[in-house]
């Protein structure tokens, strides 16, 4: 028993001495060894801070190309509306950089931007041909502002906001492949195309908007040649509904009623049938019914078209 007491007392005494020694070394020691030790600890702390700074800067460099400038994701970012902007904030003109684009789908235009007399409303985008579940891709780098469903309009749709100030809208989708606040790159798959909402068949409804103004997409894109007309587009409140036409005339779909929003300046009168064309596809591309096209060309309901045949369009 005495041995155990002595042992416990000895352990306690050693602990007290060690604690006292550590405290004395930290507070009162002025020896060169202590100063060297403190300097070593200070250098280690400085090195750790430098390593953290390098790691932070490296991380920022890695994400800098992916994350667009944050200041464009402010006004209306949390809005559930397609147009969250105030008219008073929209400038009269603005030069927009449209380099770094990617065509959302390779399909041709099946319906133009413009007023539709038949329905009594504006068609604020371009319809592009797709098959159900074709991949829809982001037109520019950007960030997903909204994914939503509208039964009497867009169906399933995605809205992207881009560093160049544009927003692009993708409608009638079967499925969105992205979520709100997700950063995307030009050409990245964002959805599967379909025919949801107010739609009569699979197609992509594609809009290009600047602060709520639905720009005619044909003013920016040459859909026939899968490119942009120029590296910049000058938005103007006076001309944003107008198209620009640098494409071959045969690739331009004529508007349905010859209104002021018609695509391009070419009023073409004939079309030369190409391999793969059908009477219905040609008629739809030029904003008329197949019956109207047959009548213009004195064709019966059983008559067939052939490659090289010239059809009247007016």
**Mean pLDDT of all residues belonging to the chain:** 75
Which pLDDT value is given to residue 255?
Answer: 41
Which pLDDT value is given to residue 283?
Answer: 75
| Residue scoring higher pLDDT (138 or 306) | 138
pLDDT, tens digit (0-9, with 9 covering 90-100), for 201-251:
999 999 999 988 999 999 999 998 898 989 999 999 999 999 886 544 444
Range in 36-45, 220-229, 273-282 the model is least confident about: 36-45
Which pLDDT value is given to residue 99?
Answer: 93
Which pLDDT value is given to residue 144?
Answer: 96
**pTM (2 decimals)?**
0.57
Which pLDDT value is given to residue 279?
Answer: 82
Look at strands 93-97 and 232-236 and give their pairing.
Answer: antiparallel
Which residue from 256, 161, 251 is spatially nearest to 207, judged by alpha carbons? 161
Q: CA quadruple 250, 252, 255, 261: dihedral positive or negative?
A: negative
pLDDT, tens digit (0-9, with 9 covering 90-100), for 178-215:
999 999 999 999 999 999 998 889 999 999 999 889 99
> With b meaning 16 or more CB within 10 Å and e meaning fewer, what string describes 126-149?
bbbbbeeebebbbbbbbbbbbbee
Tell whether the model's pLDDT for residue 139 goes beyond 80: yes
Question: Span 12-22, mean pLDDT?
Answer: 46
Tell whether the model's pLDDT for residue 51 goes beyond 50: no
Tell whether the model's pLDDT for residue 43 goes beyond 90: no
Q: CB burial class (10 A; 0-12, 13-18, 19+) of residue 239?
A: middle
Band of pLDDT at residue 314, cut at 50, 70 and 90? confident
Which pLDDT value is given to residue 38?
Answer: 64
Which pLDDT value is given to residue 289?
Answer: 75
Band of pLDDT at residue 170, cut at 50, 70 and 90? very high
Which residue from 243, 267, 266, 282 is spatially nearest to 112, judged by alpha carbons? 243
Which pLDDT value is given to residue 49?
Answer: 53
Band of pLDDT at residue 113, cut at 50, 70 and 90? very high
Which helix (H) or strand (E) covers residue 128, if one does?
strand 126-129
Tell whether the model's pLDDT for residue 313 goes beyond 90: no
């Amino acid at each position: 028993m005495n041995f155990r007491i002595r042992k416990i007392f000895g352990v306690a005494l050693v602990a007290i001495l060690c604690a006292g020694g550590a405290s004395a070394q930290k507070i009162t020691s002025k020896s060169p060894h202590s100063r060297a030790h403190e300097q070593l600890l200070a250098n280690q702390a400085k090195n750790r801070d430098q390593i953290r700074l390098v790691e932070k800067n490296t991380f920022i460099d890695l994400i800098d190309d992916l994350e667009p400038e944050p200041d464009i994701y402010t006004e209306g970012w949390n809005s559930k509306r397609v147009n969250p902007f105030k008219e008073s904030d929209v400038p009269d003109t603005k030069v927009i950089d449209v380099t770094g684009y990617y065509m959302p789908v390779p399909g041709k235009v099946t319906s133009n931007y413009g007023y539709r007399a038949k329905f009594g409303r504006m068609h604020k985008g371009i319809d592009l041909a797709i098959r159900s579940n074709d991949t829809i891709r982001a037109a520019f780098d950007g960030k997903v502002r909204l994914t939503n469903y509208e039964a009497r309009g867009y169906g399933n749709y995605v809205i992207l906001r881009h560093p160049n100030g544009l927003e692009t809208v993708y409608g009638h989708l079967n499925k969105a492949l992205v979520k709100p606040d997700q950063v995307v790159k030009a050409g990245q798959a964002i959805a599967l195309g379909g025919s949801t909402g107010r739609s009569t068949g699979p197609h992509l409804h594609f809009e290009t908007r600047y602060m709520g103004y639905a720009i005619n997409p044909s003013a920016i894109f040459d859909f026939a040649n899968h490119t942009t007309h120029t590296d910049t587009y000058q938005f103007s409140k006076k001309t944003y509904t107008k198209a620009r036409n640098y494409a071959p005339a045969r690739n331009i779909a004529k508007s349905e009623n010859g209104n002021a929003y018609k695509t391009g300046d070419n009023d073409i009168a004939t079309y030369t049938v190409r391999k793969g064309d059908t009477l219905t596809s040609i008629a739809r591309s030029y904003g008329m019914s197949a019956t109207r096209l047959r009548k213009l060309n004195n064709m019966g309901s059983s008559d067939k078209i052939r490659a090289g045949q010239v059809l009247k369009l007016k």
